[in-house]
Amino acid sequence: MPPELVEEDEMVLVGMVSNDHDICGLWNRFMAAEALVKHKVEGAGYELHIHPEGDNPWQGYTLMVGVQVTKVEDLPHEMFVKVLPACRYAVFTHRLSQGGYEGANAQMNAWLESGPYRLARDLCIQVFDSRFKGGDHPDSEIDFLIPVVPKG
């Protein structure tokens, strides 16, 4: 099934960053301090995979977990701001029963290879909202957003 294409305004995220790829540990640290984040938009958590440019973009990528905010004020200790510019995103809704967290990668890659769009930036955003029931629930759903521009 092809993704939905959406135009998103600038998004401002506040969260924690890691390069050690301990995603569960990063989420646990963030959730312990999340109540200190001011002006957050309720309803979803975000996990960003920011890939460096170069020969091997999958080596050394940075993770960020956080929430969207309407205003940045008094950042809690160890938290950072990431501003994502307005962009068109391809949104892939993925159910964990379809290959776990990695299951969406093949679908996204196949769509990018054969479709009219290419990645605009080396970034993938996972959105966890009320449809996510936990990592051990196969019926949990996650939206994967990738920034795209037309090929050519």
- How confident is the model over 57-103, as pLDDT tens digits? 445 678 999 999 999 999 999 999 999 999 999 999 999 888 877 77
Rounded CA separation 36/24 (Å): 20
Which domains, from first to last, does the chain contain?
4-150 (3.20.80.10)
Secondary structure (3-state) at 107: helix
Q: What pTM does this model have? A: 0.89
DSSP classification of residue 9: -
Q: Which of 58, 39, 38 is nearest to 50 (CA)?
A: 58
CB burial class (10 A; 0-12, 13-18, 19+) of residue 24?
Answer: exposed
pLDDT in tens, 35-50: 999 999 999 999 998 8
CB burial class (10 A; 0-12, 13-18, 19+) of residue 29?
Answer: middle
